[in-house]
Amino acid sequence: MQKIIYLFLLHTLWGFSQETKVSVDSISQEKTINYYSEDTDLVGRYEIYYANGLLKEKGQTAYEFGCGMKSGTFEFFTKNGKLLKTEVYNNWLKNLGDGCHSTIHDITVNEYHENGKLKAEKKYQSSYEAGEKNKVGVWRDFDTYGYVNNTTSYPWTYPHKELPNNIIKAEKALVTLFEKLKNSEPRIRYESVAPSFEKELLVTLNLQNSWQYPFQELSKKIRILSSKDSLIRTFAWDEREGGSRHNMKSYIQYKNNHILQIENLRDNEEENGFRNATIDEIVAFDNGYFILGWGSFGSGAMHLIITYYKFINGILKPWPIFENNKTEYGIEISRGDKFNLKIDPELQQITFNETLYNEDMGYYYQTGKLTTLAFIDRLNIFVKKEEK
* Burial group, residue 203, by CB count within 10 angstroms (0-12, 13-18, 19+): buried
Q: Are 372 and 349 in contact (CB under 8 A)?
A: yes
At 221, the amino acid letter reads K
Confidence at residue 366, expressed as pLDDT on a 0 to 100 scale? 86
What is the distance between the alpha carbons of residues 171 and 200, in angstroms, rounded to a whole number? 10
Provide the greatest CA pair distance for the chain: 103
Query: How many angstroms separate the CA atoms of 297 and 364, rounded?
Result: 14
Alpha-carbon gap, residue 10 to 39, rounded angstroms: 10
Give 325: exposed, middle or buried? Use CB within 10 Å, 0-12, 13-18, 19+: exposed
DSSP states of 2-71: --EEEEEEEEEETTEEEEEEEEEETTT--EEEEEEETT-SSSEEEEEE-TTS-EEEEEEEEEETTEEEE-
Q: Among candidates 171, 230, 176, 172, which has minimal Cα distance to 205?
A: 171
* Contact indicator for 337, 280 with CB cutoff of 8 Å: no
pLDDT by position in tens, the chain (length 388): 444 444 444 444 334 456 788 999 999 999 999 887 655 556 889 999 999 999 999 999 988 888 889 998 999 999 999 999 999 998 988 887 788 999 999 999 999 999 999 999 999 999 998 878 999 888 888 888 777 777 777 888 887 655 557 888 899 999 999 999 989 888 888 888 988 899 899 888 888 788 889 999 999 999 999 999 999 999 999 887 655 667 888 999 998 877 788 888 765 544 444 457 788 899 999 989 999 988 876 667 788 889 999 999 888 999 999 999 999 898 888 877 788 899 999 999 999 998 888 887 777 888 889 999 999 999 999 999 866 4
- Nearest CA to 316 among 326, 305, 327? 327
- Residue 70 is predicted with a pLDDT of 92
The per-residue pLDDT for 285 is 95
Torsion of CA 35, 38, 40, 41, to 10 degrees: -20
Phi, psi of 338 (to 5 degrees): -75, 135
Nearest-CA neighbor of 192 among 161, 148, 139? 148
d(CA 279, CA 281): 6
pLDDT digits (tens, 9 = 90+) for 329-352: 988 888 777 888 999 999 999 999
Q: Nearest 5°: phi and psi at 25?
A: -75, 125
Can you give the pLDDT at residue 273?
45
φ, ψ of residue 159 in degrees (nearest 5): -65, 145
374 HSE (CA, 13 A, CB side) = 8
- How high is the pLDDT of residue 373? 95
pLDDT computed for residue 345 by the predictor: 95
**How confident is the model over 186-217, as pLDDT tens digits?**
888 888 898 889 989 988 888 878 888 999 99
Amino acid in position 10: L
The mean predicted confidence, pLDDT, of the chain is: 84
Angle among Cα 219, 224, 225 to the nearest 5 degrees reads 140
